[in-house]
Amino acid sequence: MDREHCRPIEILLVEDNPGDVRLTQEALREGKVRNHLHVAADGVEAMAFLRREGQHAQAPQPDLILLDLNLPKKGGREVLAEIKEDPDLRRIPVVILTVSKAEEDVLKSYNLHANCYITKPVNLDQFLEVVKSIEDFWLTVVLLPPR
Amino acid sequence: VELILIIGISLLLQFAAAFFAFRLIRVTGFQIAWVLISSAFCVMAIRRVIVLAQLLAGEVPHSRELATELVGLVISILMLAGVLFIGPLFRTIKAAEAALRQSRDELEGLVAARTEELQDTNARLSVELDERRKAEHLMAQYAGDLARSNAELEQFAYVASHDLQEPLRMVASFTQLLGKRYRDKLDADADEFIGFAVDGSTRMQRLLNDLLAYSRVGTRSKPFAAVECASVLSDALANLKPAIEESGARVTHEPLPIVRGDEVQLIQLFQNLLGNAAKFRGHEPLQVHISAELQDGDWVFAVRDNGIGIAPEQQERIFLIFQRLHHRSEYPGTGIGLALCKRIVERHGGRIWVESEVGKGTTFYFTIKGGENAPNGPRALSAN
């Protein structure tokens, strides 16, 4: 059995829209992989979670980060830059999950070492499909760095 | 006696010379010089008067000899001749000078007149220039205002459609989720209501997407480059492959030029026109023919089909955004396609119009600025 199947996968979703959070939860619930979804509603909270600051002192280090670009307080791009500059965090794969299709956003994200860039499909079925394929690829196909 | 005669003549000559020399003052100026010369002549003449008086008195001065007096006579003649000659010479010079002065004055007058004319013209021109500058300034201002308001409108449309997507996605997603999870679990009414909600929200999404595409023609456009229309056409056909295949259409084209434009937008233009042809086809197998012709420096493209046609009273409306001629159940779509075509063509400095007969077919014409004309060889493209 794979290591991933022995313990639940920790996923950090950085998303300010509760609707999207719920949809992601729904999609992941239907998935095959056992997972814990943690949610940070803005960039500041996301960094606090990753650095185990304040109320997040007990937070586990996530195996995968799903990051929206448009966030209050601290934007997704800044969060991405901080993660990729931090020697303890930069190995965590970051999936940009956003509505923006702007070439500029795509390019900037990859330049900041995003691991992949996905636009949120407008259609529900497609959205569920995308979340599932993220799960399939990053949690079963890909071999993640050891803890 | 000869001596007396000679002296007398010289004396007369010297007086005459003195007189004429004096008169020269009037002609030449040089007052002092002529007075001196004249007085010298007078002195010489007076001396001769004295000698003559002595001769007449019978005294013969030993110094006076005939030869000397002859020389004196000749000199006197020469002096008189000289004085007489100088007069006309000076007069001529004076006349020439006067003529010169007069013509110079005339010339100066002319120059002054011309200068005045030029100054007048200059003044008029500068007034005109001022006016023109003012007009240009105003025009630039209006153009700036217009561009700004256009940009704002485009920005508005873009932001509106972009930002409206987000909440709409929520409505659409959750009504869809509701439909998915609770179909047949509530009652028939609930299923119907959910169906309407899902239908409405998905349609709204399509409208917003189209509005976004429409506003993007202005905001997200690339600078113009040389574009090969033949490759644009084949790209458009490739994008439309399913629809074209389904309609069994035969698409042919004449040599197409290279134009300056935005390739992505031109592909979209051809795609919308061809897609329309496929959508509104008649009972006959669909035939679409594309041609381009250079007219007054502009390329006039024609996309001709043998579809259902458009009634004359509808031919204006079809280019307006979200105007539809058919019920959604007959022909789906938001009614953006031709409005988008119009916007793309207009952005390329051209215009678009339609000629059509109900039941016979439709030809869409649009113009694109010419310049580079290198038509490709004739080629028939078939979808099958």
> What pLDDT was estimated at residue B379?
44
The tens digit of pLDDT for each residue in B55-105 reads 777 666 555 566 676 777 777 778 777 777 877 787 788 889 899 999 999
A vs B: CB pairs below 8 A? 30
- CA separation for the pair B211, B377 (Å, rounded): 37
Residues of chain B contacting residue A124, judged by C-beta atoms under 8 Å apart: 172-173, 176-177, 180
Residues 6+ apart with CB under 8 A from B62: none
Do B169 and A120 count as a contact with CB atoms less than 8 A apart? yes
Interface residues of chain A, partner chain B, Cβ below 8 Å: 17, 19-20, 23, 26, 99, 120, 122-125, 127
Count other C-beta atoms under 10 Å from residue B300's C-beta.
17
pLDDT at B318 over 70: yes
Do A124 and B176 count as a contact with CB atoms less than 8 A apart? yes
- CA separation for the pair B6, B109 (Å, rounded): 58
**Residue ranges of chain A with per-residue pLDDT less than 70:** 1-6
List, as ranges, residues 248-277 from B with C-beta within 8 Å of A: none
- CA separation for the pair B135, B116 (Å, rounded): 28
Do A99 and B172 count as a contact with CB atoms less than 8 A apart? no
Residues of chain A contacting residue B209, judged by C-beta atoms under 8 Å apart: 122
Residues 6+ apart with CB under 8 A from A11: A28, A35, A36, A37, A38, A62, A63, A64, A65, A66
- Most A CBs within 10 A among B165, B169, B171, hence the mutation to make, goes to B169
Q: For chain A, say whether B323 makes contact (Cβ under 8 Å).
A: no
pTM of the model: 0.56
Q: How far is A122 from chain B (nearest CA, A)?
A: 6
Q: Which residue has the higher pLDDT, B125 or B63?
A: B125
Evaluate whether B50 touches B10 at the Cβ level (below 8 Å). no
> What pLDDT was estimated at residue B206?
83
- Most B CBs within 10 A among A101, A103, A124, hence the mutation to make, goes to A124
Q: What percent of chain B has pLDDT over 70?
A: 89
Count other C-beta atoms under 10 Å from residue B152's C-beta.
10
Do A124 and B180 count as a contact with CB atoms less than 8 A apart? yes
Strands (DSSP E) along B129-268, which ranges?
Answer: 225-228, 250-253, 258-261
pLDDT at B42 over 50: yes
